Structure 1
């Protein structure tokens, strides 16, 4: 099965504050659980970018002047489709530039790429294609349309994340809900030290379970994605 890039994320991981896995940091791009160094506040025209800057200033120890520089750069890159809504990078080169330009001295970060199996891409496009001219494409949709193949060099497969996509461009991880342990036990799954699912055989069964709203997950489309890290942080 071929896999294609859905997004790169530049993340600051946070320990889970609930559930059986409380205290663990999970390598997921879900904004429910982790902070993103590129987010809505990084764009000048968003409500967060205009009004809600106290949180990123505190979280990332940045000033008003630095935020203005970030927004000026990000607005251009977003319009050129190198950045996506809501916290996605469409290519690793743009992520590297953003990291070096604005957060060169940070050490508390993770870089991940999420990859979708080929057999899920057309369904994703059909589900999230904007229905009006006034609605923009979410970042993952824009990236999947490019069909960038899975990179082998300098990327390491860490595990699988089960993600539920919102039409806003945000996504949830299976860790966002208290029934994560129930699914793990039901399908005989194992988690690795990064909180992700190890390789397993019954992927379609898990997807059917997750996409059945009777089983307790939100009624949004759920996808199983590969999560990979950049091997050499010193190259970023």
Structure 2
């Protein structure tokens, strides 16, 4: 499968995400924020970084990039889209996901190995895991605290849209320890930790993040 990785001005983890896609067994396609088409990809990754310098709000400018018009339309048709860290922020700003990401509770940038529990495997991005599986994935963010009103939080919980939750001490103050969510359909996922930094034994936290790039359920459909 072809998985597009979008580079915005200020993206830092786009090359890492491309490598993770290849390690996951797929072809990585580099997409630029100014592109007006998705070049025939089967899925899209919005990587981490500081798109447009995080001016206004994280992701607030990126949502108006030409490529995001294409991403929003494709997501509406069911294309899998994964937003990592800044990509998660962009998905919220684009209204593909509810809620928002705000400054960490302790007002400090974090960089650590974070324990997570996979809460839902009903997305293409988490289908390679077992429900309830505990993993360790790199976390680095300054504005990673997920917030939403109580009604939205209850709906996310009730509809199984919380895909990953922080274990141990909550690192950034995210409500209900939420580390990642999906849309109702399950094809769009936002994740604050960085699975692309946890795909090799040589460095990082090991290989627990590789499952996010397996696209197991989608691959089964495409190659059936």
Note whether the superposition's TM-score is higher than 0.5.
Answer: no
Instruction: Provide TM-score, normalisation by structure 1.
Output: 0.28
Instruction: Provide TM-score, normalisation by structure 2.
Output: 0.29
Question: Is the helix fraction higher in 1 or 2?
Answer: 1
Question: Is the strand fraction higher in 1 or 2?
Answer: 2
Please say which structure displays the higher CA radius of gyration: 1
**More RCO (CA 8 Å, sep 6+):** 1
